[in-house]
Amino acid sequence: MKSEITVWIFELDRTAADLTEFNSWLSTDEAQRRVRLLRKQDRDRFTAAHGITRHVLSKTTGERPETLAFIRNPHGKPSLKGHRHLEFNLSHSDGVGALAVANGFPVGVDLERIVPIEPAVAELALSSSEYAELSHCGEHEAPTHFYRCWTRKEAMIKALGLGLAQPPEICDVTPDFGREPRLLRPASESDMSVIWELFHFIPAAGYVGALAAYGRGHSMVLNRWTPSAI
Ligand SMILES: CC(C)(COP(=O)(O)OP(=O)(O)OC[C@H]1O[C@@H](n2cnc3c(N)ncnc32)[C@H](O)[C@@H]1OP(=O)(O)O)[C@@H](O)C(=O)NCCC(=O)NCCS
């Protein structure tokens, strides 16, 4: 069955009024994580990411943003208590965030700001065949190419609810814009029969994003979050 996945994109630098409201919604656990961040900008962006997540999930479930209760799997993937079928996943990088929301099948989202990347780091992060393709890129295109691969792999890992401690060989993905984002090799031998779909998006200039979803025939709808857009 074809299902829609909504990806909400948002700026993390919000007004003082937004932040005051979002802070009032945070759980004790979120507030404790927030105060551990050293820089004010990071604390404010954490508040924005979690506040906007609560806003979207509140509109989706009809519950108040401050009463939503999250539980986490052993690797930290959050889900919503009392809403087993509602699947969502958050990603944030610098000043931009994305929240994917789906009904009844797991999703993972990742976005990254494109910054220069050391070849040694790329070699550690990518599978051998992904790295081989990267080494054919010019110096100028290499960071974008790397982050397309990296976000697709991370979206897969996040959809599966695993942690970053996964070996880069866990899957191979298509790295370029020309071809549809695709999983070339499944995420694990035990997942051979499982079908995953990948989507590519550009959340903002200088960023790349990827969405992974369990199943086939889904469509991705990209929306810019504003307090009244949902
Ligand atoms: C999840 C993970 C892959 C995200 O990587 P990242 O690029 O740094 O961060 P992103 O911005 O894309 O995503 C972070 C969000 O994903 C969600 N998330 C956390 N763990 C997740 C997981 N295992 N799978 C999917 N999503 C996860 C959370 O909403 C998190 O937001 P928060 O940190 O503000 O609460 C990475 O943090 C990781 O490997 N975590 C696992 C650590 C672990 O195994 N811990 C075990 C004890 S909890």
Asked whether residue 229 is domain-assigned, the answer is no
**The pLDDT of residue 93 is above 90:** yes
pTM metric for this prediction: 0.92
Ligand 1 center–CA 184 separation, angstroms: 24
Asked whether residue 180 is domain-assigned, the answer is yes
pLDDT score for 151: 94
Q: Whose CA is nearest to atom 34 of ligand 1?
A: 46
What CATH number does the domain containing 188 carry? 3.90.470.20
Q: Whose CA is nearest to atom 26 of ligand 1?
A: 77
Residues having CB closer than 6 A to ligand 1 are 49, 75-78, 89-92, 108, 110, 154, 157-158, 161-164
For residues 31-57, give the mean pLDDT. 97
Asked whether residue 162 is domain-assigned, the answer is yes
Tell me which residue has tokens 């507030």: 31
For residues 8-33, give the mean pLDDT. 97
**The pLDDT of residue 215 is above 70:** yes
For residues 23-50, give the mean pLDDT. 97
Confidence category of residue 1, pLDDT binned at 50, 70, 90 = very low
- The mean of the pLDDT values for the chain is 89
Domain that holds residue 183: 4-224
Asked whether residue 230 is domain-assigned, the answer is no
Q: Residue 161 CA: which ligand 1 atom is closest?
A: 24
For residues 208-229, give the mean pLDDT. 91
Ligand 1 center–CA 138 separation, angstroms: 31
Asked whether residue 100 is domain-assigned, the answer is yes
Asked whether residue 149 is domain-assigned, the answer is yes
The full 3-state SS of the chain, as one line of letters, equals: CCCEEEEEEEECCCCHHHHHHHHHHCCHHHHHHHHCCCCHHHHHHHHHHHHHHHHHHHHHHCCCHHHCCEEECCCCCEEECCCCCEEEEEEEECCEEEEEEEECCCEEEEEEECCCCCHHHHHHHCCHHHHHHHCCCCCCCHHHHHHHHHHHHHHHHHHHCCCCCCCHHHCEECCCCCCCCCEEECCCHHHCCCCEEEEEECCCCCEEEEEEEECCCCEEEEEECCCCCC
Digit-coded pLDDT (tens) for 117-132: 998 999 988 888 888 8
Digit-coded pLDDT (tens) for 156-191: 889 988 876 777 877 777 766 455 566 666 555 555
Confidence category of residue 21, pLDDT binned at 50, 70, 90 = very high
Q: Domains in the chain: how many in total? A: 1
Ligand 1 center–CA 221 separation, angstroms: 23
**The pLDDT of residue 2 is above 60:** no
Asked whether residue 22 is domain-assigned, the answer is yes
Asked whether residue 107 is domain-assigned, the answer is yes
pLDDT score for 195: 79
Digit-coded pLDDT (tens) for 51-80: 999 999 999 999 999 999 999 999 999 999
